[in-house]
Amino acid sequence: MNFELKTALLDNAALEKLDALIVLVGTNFVPATGRLSDLVQQAVKLGDLDTKAGKLLQLYATAGVTAPRLVLAGAGDLSAHHIRRAVLGAVATLKPAKNVKKLGIWIAPAAGAEAVAAAVCAVADASYVYTTTMSKPQGRTISSSLLMVPDAQGMKPAFDRAVATVRGIELAKEWGNRPANHATPNLLGQAAKALAKLPRIKCDVLGPKQVAKLGMGSFMAVAKGSQEELRFIVLSYSGGTKAEAPVVLVGKGITFDTGGISIKPAADMDEMKFDMCGAASVLGTFRALGELQPAINVVGLIPTCENMPDGRAVKPGDVVTSMSGQTIEILNTDAEGRLVLCDALTYAERFKPRAVVDIATLTGACVIALGAVRSGLFSSHDELAAQLQAAGEASLDLCWRMPLDDDYAEGLKTNFADVANVAGRAGGSITAAKFLQRFAAKFPWAHLDIAGTAWKSGAAKGSTGRPVGLLVNYVLGQVKPDATPVPGVKPTKPQARKPVKTGKPVAKLGHAARLP
């Protein structure tokens, strides 16, 4: 989708040549001169328009408005949260119309930059359509959006950041939504290499022999049962000086998870194609960084493979040696995410990072704890945890900090190795994080469990693209105020996303039943 930002009063918005116009009306709407302003004022006065966030009044062929369709959308206090709700609702009503291609959104003067960013992300989210594996793909009908604000110049930094974030979110959705035969570890590696075409991004993709040479015995154990070869993807974005320590993002890339020998129930197992959404979020974040070109260094690590049952597959009770040298008793082969992540965390040590954040659809227990609203946040570092939580709030990509008391690690003790890969059912998301913490002692570390937030089930089944918004906001927040990007490359101009060529929120306990 193409996005444009323009300075316009409400009367100017009414004259724009659009297929549909959305007017966001706050609780404290201030009338101005003009027919559209009078219409809004009258609708509120008569009670036909409720200004609570998400309430709508649809009109057609309105006098004084060039666009044939007009939607007055209640936007509450004009906060980012209310703006998002209003835009999602309004766009949903217009999405079925085949001839709404150019959309305009007028945002009241009282709204801040965060609200403008929320509007951009909401338009993209509400109009997104997956097409890659359709025989007769029907793309999104809304192809361009014009955002009209009182001061476009003042809102431009937030607008540009939001547009870049949308590019990243949609890349994450694309790879999250692909079926496993269209998103193998090899194809994921190719997607990462394609990002290296963007300024300051480099990519290396390691195969089985290189991974074996590194001693990643835990990662290799998970991949043993699959005919698809594993890949270890190393992305780097170099916007800071060479001496500057990078932020490292580690994304779980299980492109399909059967559970291995500890096989999952058949019902809804198709959703285990989403088990690489952590990896997809790292790809999406790098897509946004390539467009924004911030003055910071970032490394992305993606251990990716399938978890399949086979005569060669790792068995419950097997003991493997991780890259760190620690031995692990694999009591449950369906707790494979932590086994690939632990070796990636050890690999991260070589970058002497300022911080490491891993992102994974790790446990059904986190879905039980937090549902589909907030991702689980675990960290051994208070400042890092606070920064991530603040980034989530600012981007409306929410997370919640969970405990990491040492007592939770008691269940990981075993008589046959240094550590077991699972404890009991109680506190499952915490014991999983405690397992990872053993491999993250040499740097500030945080773990995001996105099992409940990475995708939706039911009629709205599909990837959400989370937590790309949180990660982009966090990384940009680490840029020093006086920093300037390494000279020689200018930020890229936002481009419309080209289709990738290839050869309801969670109800019940679906996610939880399919993750360990």
Predicted local distance difference test score (pLDDT) of residue 498: 43
Give the pLDDT mean for 28-55: 92
pLDDT tens, residue by residue, 405-426: 999 999 999 999 999 999 989 9
CA neighbor of 87 nearest in space, from 57, 126, 141: 126
* Percent of the chain clearing pLDDT 90 (strictly above): 88
Look at residue 513 in the predicted model and tell me its pLDDT.
57
Least confident of 84-88, 135-139, 367-371, 471-475: 135-139
* Amino acid type, 106: W
* Amino acid making up residue 44: V
pLDDT at 30: 86
| Residue 483 confidence (pLDDT) | 75
| pLDDT at residue 208 greater than cutoff 70 | yes
pLDDT of residue 485: 65
* Cβ 149 vs Cβ 83: under 8 Å: no
CA 471/CA 468 separation, integer angstroms:
5
Burial annotation 154-190 (CB, 10 A radius, 16+ → b, else e): ebeebbbbbbbbbbbbbbbbbbbbbebebbbbbbbbe
- Which tens digits make up the pLDDT trace of 292-344? 999 999 999 999 999 999 999 999 999 999 999 999 999 999 999 999 999 99
Torsion of CA 359, 360, 363, 364, to 10 degrees: 100
What pLDDT does residue 491 have?
Answer: 52
The angle formed by the CA atoms of residues 227, 230 and 173, to the nearest 5 degrees, is 105
What pLDDT is recorded for position 487?
A: 57
pLDDT in tens, 146-164: 999 999 999 999 999 999 9
pLDDT for 510: 57
Please report the pLDDT score of residue 503 as a whole number.
39
Sorting pLDDT into bands at 50, 70 and 90, what band is 32? Answer: confident
Question: Which among 48, 49, 7 is positioned nearest to 27, based on CA atoms?
Answer: 49
Residue 492 has pLDDT above 90, yes or no: no
* Over residues 379-397, mean pLDDT: 97
Q: Average pLDDT for residues 498-507, to the nearest whole number?
A: 38
Mean pLDDT of the chain: 93
By DSSP bridging, strand 231-238 and strand 201-206 are antiparallel
Strands 69-74 and 56-60: antiparallel
What pLDDT was estimated at residue 76?
A: 96
Give me the active site residues, please. 264, 338
Residue percentage of the chain with pLDDT more than 70: 94
Q: Contact at 8 Å (CB) between 11 and 154?
A: no
